[in-house]
Amino acid sequence: MRRWVPAPVTLAPVGALWVRLHRPAVQRGVRAAVAAGLAWQVAVLLPPLLSEYAYYAPLGAVIAVHPTIADSAGAAWRSVLAILAGFALAVGLYELTRAVPNALTIALIVAAAVAVEQWRLWREQASWVSFAAVLMMTVGLDDPAAYVLRYAGLTLLGGVIGVLVTTVLFPPLQLTRAVEQISATRSLLAAHLDGIAVTLREGRVPEPAEWSGRSQALDRALERMRAAEAAVERARRANPRARRWQGRARGIREESRALDRVAVLVDDLTSLVVEFQPHRRGVDRVEAGTGWVLAEALSGLAGVVRTPHHSTDGTPDHRDERIAATEAALDRLVGLLRTSRPADEDGFLALGAVAVGVRRGLTALGARRRQYQPA
């Protein structure tokens, strides 16, 4: 009879758990849960006038938990101020329109609240004005002062706790998200360049519709990357961890902006290749293999885009090899331009513009050949 042996229990690696904990959504969920629990516990310890409505405090805590400390503080005070504005609007207009039907009063209050919400001060918290106004009309008019104290006061208390928890509990710098978006954009940009190079090697002309779709995907990636970089900059405000990660944040900013500049150049290169077909119209020497030379330059640039950092200090590495290959291809392209007579002026100028664009792309990426001393 075979003996039953229990299957070994596989535990999630600590490293994988640590990576998940650095996800913005996971961190925000943990902070929101802790802040809501603390806010409730503090609220129930207050005098009965407030503790009976303790559930307003967790609401304020959740409102105030945002990806960055600056956003948390801004959301907290804007939300409470918008709530107070809605309450004041409801009470004031109600007192002024006692002689008219309630339906008309409510309609007037909502219209006025929506108008007040257009004030840019509120930002994402604008809807609290009309929400608070309707809430006051429906449940708070029996004792407006007490209701304002309970709702706005406890929401403010929860908001303060939410900001404190965001500040103390692994205050976010949004670095992980930014690194992911930069990596995704880098891959799309390199794939875009490789795709153009493939069509050139095959002797085809890239179809405008095909590259338009790829450009749209790249544009969306660039927007997400810019938003992630902006989030890192916001996260550094009033953040106790900002000094510790200052170098990493600066590197993310520089890397993001370099990719942004290269993406603009690549968009121009794509337009030139698709519109003017410089590999066919630029020079009058068919045997020169202009398409192949141009493809090698673009493919080389794609390789440099994919390899943003050096892996060694004193010896040549993969990035050095890719920079050297790109510069060699670029030298061949420039040599071809110098030794050929223009067959078509527009095509020739476009070919020269592509060469300049590749050179500027290398400069934007900080791609330079490093000098090594022989051993």
> Could you tell me which residues come within 8 angstroms of residue 79 by beta carbon, excluding any fewer than 6 positions away?
60, 63, 64, 125, 128, 155, 159
Encode 1-32 in three state secondary structure.
CCCCCCCCCCCCCHHHHHHHHCCHHHHHHHHH
Q: CB neighbours (10 Å) of residue 111? A: 12
Among 202, 194, 360, 337, residue whose Cα is nearest residue 278: 337
Half-sphere exposure of 168 (CA within 13 A, CB side): 9
Beta bridge partners of 283: 342
Task: Give, as one character, the DSSP assignment of residue 286.
Answer: G
Q: CB neighbours (10 Å) of residue 229? A: 23
Cα separation, 324 vs 319, in Å, equals 9
Among 231, 233, 238, residue whose Cα is nearest residue 166: 238
In this predicted model, what pLDDT tens digit does every residue of 33-73 receive, in sequence order? 999 999 999 999 999 989 999 999 999 999 999 877 788 88
> Vertex 285, ends 281 and 288: CA angle to 5°?
100
Residue with the two structure tokens 């930014």? 178
The type of residue at 351 is L
User: What does pTM read for this prediction?
Assistant: 0.64
The type of residue at 28 is R
Write phi, then psi, for 4 (nearest 5 degrees): -80, 130
CATH of 175-364, one of 1.20.120, 2.20.28, 1.10.287, 1.10.760: 1.20.120
Encode 227-246 in three state secondary structure.
HHHHHHHHHCCCCCCCCCCH
Among 358, 288, 357, 372, residue whose Cα is nearest residue 325: 358
Using CB atoms within 10 A of its CB, is residue 212 exposed (0-12), middle (13-18) or buried (19+)? Answer: exposed
Which of helix, strand or coil describes residue 344? coil
Cα separation, 43 vs 37, in Å, equals 10
Q: What is the pLDDT of residue 241?
A: 62
Q: What is the pLDDT of residue 306?
A: 92
> Contacts for 241-250 with beta carbons within 8 Å, 24 or more apart?
241/171, 241/173, 242/173, 245/173, 245/175, 248/175, 249/173, 249/175
In this predicted model, what pLDDT tens digit does every residue of 157-169 receive, in sequence order? 999 999 999 888 7
153: tokens are: 């006061």
CA distances from 164 to 39, 168, 172, 180, 237 (A): 11, 6, 13, 28, 14
DSSP class per residue in 132-162? HHHHIIIIITTSHHHHHHHHHHHHHHHHHHH
Which of helix, strand or coil describes residue 316? coil
* Helical ranges in the chain per DSSP H: 14-21, 24-43, 48-51, 56-64, 69-96, 102-116, 127-135, 144-168, 175-201, 208-235, 246-276, 278-281, 290-306, 318-339, 345-364
The residue ranges of the chain whose pLDDT is under 70 are 1-24, 170-174, 205-208, 210-211, 237-245, 279-288, 343-344, 372-375
Q: What is the pLDDT of residue 161?
A: 95
